[in-house]
Structure 1
Amino acid sequence: MIYLPANIDQLSRKERERFIKRGEILHAATQLFAEKGFMNTTIDDIAEKAEFGKGTIYNYFSSKEEMFSVILEEISIAYLETVVKLDNKNQSFYDFVYSLSENLFDFCVNQKYAFKIIARIRTNTSTFTSNIPKKMIENHAEIDRILIKRIDKAVKAKEIEKVDSYSLIALYRSMIFPYIYNKMFCGTEKEINVAEETKFIVNILFNGIKKK
């Protein structure tokens, strides 16, 4: 679960219990925001889904707006940490994109409700779009900075053709996120094979579909 700290095993039992309860509340809220939308979800709904009283919910969060902001921030933190980790491996550009795509597929499949919230925002179907938390914006700006650096490095190393970095990033995102969404929520497949899907979309990105 993305809402638990990495060092949770090192915390005291009381601290662990608090983080676990907080995570259960956020998990319930994430599922409801994804399924019903932000405006149609109430604190009562979240309390019922999480199986806690409203008083317990308010011990952790002052409002559903705060919960939504925390969810978006933590998703963006997880995304940024993945990009930084892969960037530090100093892989070839192809391997970097492959690993990033594989991680994104894996996240979307295993955190499908969190992914669905992001999809709502990207398609402007969430009324919360105008209140994106500042931390999320900053994290995505840092992700873009890393991606631009990797693209420029790949161009200089002649791994790829000279290309506008922002356009390539936009193309990549417009390919991978709608593709994953359609596979998960609009198709008939019950399970997504992360390895096969990663190989397919990265191959299309680098090689196209024209027969050699």
Structure 2
Amino acid sequence: MSLSKLFSPNTAVAAKRERRKEARPGELLDAALDLFVEKGFAATRAEEVAARAGVSKGTLFLYFQSKEELFKAVVRENISGRFTEWRAELESFEGSSPELLAYCMNVWWERVGMTRASGLTKLMMSEAKNFPELAAFYHQEVIMPGHDLIRSILQRGMDRGEFHAMDLDYAVYVVIAPMIFLILSRHSGGVCLNSEKDLDPQKFIAHQVETILNGISAPVATAARAGKKAAA
């Protein structure tokens, strides 16, 4: 190909169109996430997603066969597709299990809870009964891996003698419950909160971590932490 053809206006336009085409799935997912969180699944129409992404409805369906498939892609892009990365990160953690639990809760807030993606959890809580197929998908792709990740942290602590023996089927909810509360407080206009006080997420998590650890740490680990605080 000659240099004149390589740098011709037509070639530049074609390259720009190709880049635009490659970016479209991501733009559609961003637009869909915004609308699903703002309006819910049932109230969001495919043509609204396409319009916000700057494409036609037909273009949207070139990439996603239905609104349900679009929603699943949004969940995978923002939450479930990241579990492999998160698990590898936690498995390589070198600190104690109490430190790992605190790290996990804080990182979850930074990467999911305080982002738009946390609105997907509230959406599923409110619309799951009306869309059982999506509820089953969310349970398989988000709930179960999330539970497994927390179970592995608690099991690590028990294996090391840092946590006392516990029923993991129920203990996972001790960790999950405060994080769900944070999501609800963020996406429900503060209706869950004392209106006279603002909720600081970092302080809330720190308090929850301390409360959890005081309840599940083995006596030796509790005494060791108390000794470290006294020395400090």
**Band the TM-score falls in, shorter-chain normalisation:** 0.7 to 0.9
Which of 55, 58, 63 aligns to 1:60? It is 63
Gaps of 5+ in 2: 1-14, 216-225, 227-232
Pair 1:86-2:93 in alignment: no
String of CA shifts for 1:81-113, please: whole Å, max 9, x gaps.
Answer: 22331222243111111111111111235422x
Deviation (angstroms), 1:115: 1.1
- Determine the C-alpha separation between the residues in 2 that align with 1:97 and 1:120: 26
Moved more, 48-57 or 62-71: 48-57
Deviation (angstroms), 1:117: 1.4
- Determine the C-alpha separation between the residues in 2 that align with 1:63 and 1:30: 15
Q: Which residue of 2 aligns with 1:200?
A: 207
**Shift in CA distance, 177/18, structure 1 to aligned 2, threshold 3 Å:** farther
Moved more, 177-186 or 93-102: 177-186
Gaps of 5+ in 1: 1-11
Which structure's CA Rg is the greater one? 2
Deviation (angstroms), 1:163: 0.9
Q: Please show how residues 13-162 of structure 1 align to structure 2 within 5 Å.
A: 17-74=20-77, 75-112=79-116, 114-121=117-124, 123-126=125-128, 127-132=130-135, 137=140, 140-162=143-165
Letter in 2 for 1:200: H
- Determine the C-alpha separation between the residues in 2 that align with 1:49 and 1:95: 42
User: Is the contact made by 2:102 and 2:209 (CA closer than 8 Å) also made in structure 1?
Assistant: yes
TM-score normalised by L of structure 2: 0.70
- Determine the C-alpha separation between the residues in 2 that align with 1:14 and 1:158: 59
- Determine the C-alpha separation between the residues in 2 that align with 1:194 and 1:15: 42
Q: Please show how residues 168-179 of structure 1 align to structure 2 within 5 Å.
A: 168-179=171-182
Letter in 1 for 2:205: T
User: Is the contact made by 1:105 and 1:180 (CA closer than 8 Å) also made in structure 2?
Assistant: no
**Shift in CA distance, 172/14, structure 1 to aligned 2, threshold 3 Å:** farther
User: Is the contact made by 1:47 and 1:57 (CA closer than 8 Å) also made in structure 2?
Assistant: yes
User: Is the contact made by 2:182 and 2:201 (CA closer than 8 Å) also made in structure 1?
Assistant: no
Deviation (angstroms), 1:15: 7.4
TM-score normalised by L of structure 1: 0.75
Q: What secondary structure, in the 3-state scheme, does the structure 2 residue paired with 1:186 have?
A: coil
- Determine the C-alpha separation between the residues in 2 that align with 1:118 and 1:135: 9
Letter in 2 for 1:32: L
Instruction: Report the aligned-residue RMSD.
Output: 3.1
**Shift in CA distance, 134/202, structure 1 to aligned 2, threshold 3 Å:** same
Which of 163, 168, 173 aligns to 2:166? It is 163
The alignment of Structure 1 onto Structure 2 pairs a total of residues equal to 195
Deviation (angstroms), 1:173: 0.9
String of CA shifts for 1:111-135, please: whole Å, max 9, x gaps.
Answer: 22x21112221x2434334334659
Deviation (angstroms), 1:79: 4.0
Q: Which residue of 1 aligns with 2:230?
A: none
**Shift in CA distance, 61/133, structure 1 to aligned 2, threshold 3 Å:** farther
Letter in 1 for 2:153: R
Q: Which residue of 1 aligns with 2:183?
A: 180
Q: Select the structure that is richer in helix.
A: 2
- Determine the C-alpha separation between the residues in 1 that align with 2:181 and 2:30: 23
Percent identity for Structure 1 against Structure 2: 22
**Shift in CA distance, 13/179, structure 1 to aligned 2, threshold 3 Å:** same
